[in-house]
Amino acid sequence: RQHLNALHILSEYLWLRDNPNADYTPHTYIFGAKAAAGYYFAKQMIRFIVKLSEVINNDPRVNQKLKVVYVEDYRVTLAELMIPSADISEQISLAGTEASGTSNMKFMINGAVTLGTLDGANVEIANLVGAENIYLFGRSSEEVIELYETGGYHPWDLWQHDPEMAEAIDFIVSPELLACGNAAALARVYRDFVAKDYFMALLDARDYAATKERCLADYEDRAAWGRKMLVNIATSGFFSSDRTIREYNDEIWHLG
């Protein structure tokens, strides 16, 4: 659901462009992933993020404060360099949709603080580190399931009644962004936001933005942030393969 992240970055860009002298801690957002061969929308999402990075990184009004990097051909060799350097790990899947990967654990053991939803292994991380050492947002899986079952989610309404959100979404098909190319991909992402939004990015967008602002504000206190990092590192041993195998043996295999 990294289009939620990208939409927030776009909102930041538009605000910073209008307020170039604002007190703003420089941020670099790094994306690295690959789309499955048949996952058409994920490929369009990547194209959107790449085009957004071109606009932001080439705008002298903001590019000393805000940068976006999309790392091509993301793989273990690059992950070994990138994960230890990260301050914040964004694990922002829609609650109930994540099959529980392990990247969040890799970030955790390297001291990155998680910003995410109560989904996948984030649930276990939250239980281990405590509420003050993780940043959680978004609807619960129960709320998401109810919206799917009742058809009660209408992204069009959110787009129409939130001017700031609408400005960011409409910018996706603005002449400025379309001039970078890949108009079809941008139009596809735009239509998904306002008409379908299967992963309910707009539903969580406001809570996500507020939680990220709180996270970034806390980052300014370097000593307090260092304590959060240490708590994450110290509690990450729970995800040891030794513990996992031992539990499998005790509960399932019953060997020797």
Please report the pLDDT score of residue 33 as a whole number: 83
100 pLDDT above the threshold of 80: no
d(C-alpha 15, C-alpha 67), whole Å: 14
Separation CA 184–CA 66 (nearest Å): 26
For residue 228, pLDDT over 90 is answered with: yes
Residue 99 has pLDDT above 80, yes or no: no
Q: For 20-59, what is each residue's pLDDT tens digit? A: 999 898 999 999 888 989 999 999 999 999 999 999 999 9
pLDDT of res. 226: 98
Report the pLDDT averaged over residues 91-104: 88
Considering only CA atoms, which of 171, 142, 168, 157 is closest in space to residue 203? 157
Q: How many CB atoms lie within 10 A of CB 145?
A: 13
**Rounded average pLDDT over 205-230:** 97
Mean pLDDT in residue range 117-127 = 94
pLDDT (average), residues 129-155: 96
Q: Are strands 66-70 and 27-31 parallel, antiparallel or unpaired?
A: parallel
Chain segment 187-214, per-residue pLDDT in tens: 999 999 999 999 999 999 999 999 999 9
- Mean pLDDT, the chain, as a whole number? 95
Average pLDDT over residues 234-239: 96
Residue 256 has pLDDT above 80, yes or no: no
Pair 119, 134: CB distance under 8 Å: no
Contacts of 233 (CB under 8 A, 6+ apart): 108, 109, 110, 111
Structural domains of the chain, with CATH: 2-253 (3.40.50.2000)
Q: Quickly state the pLDDT bin for 185 (edges 50, 70, 90).
A: very high
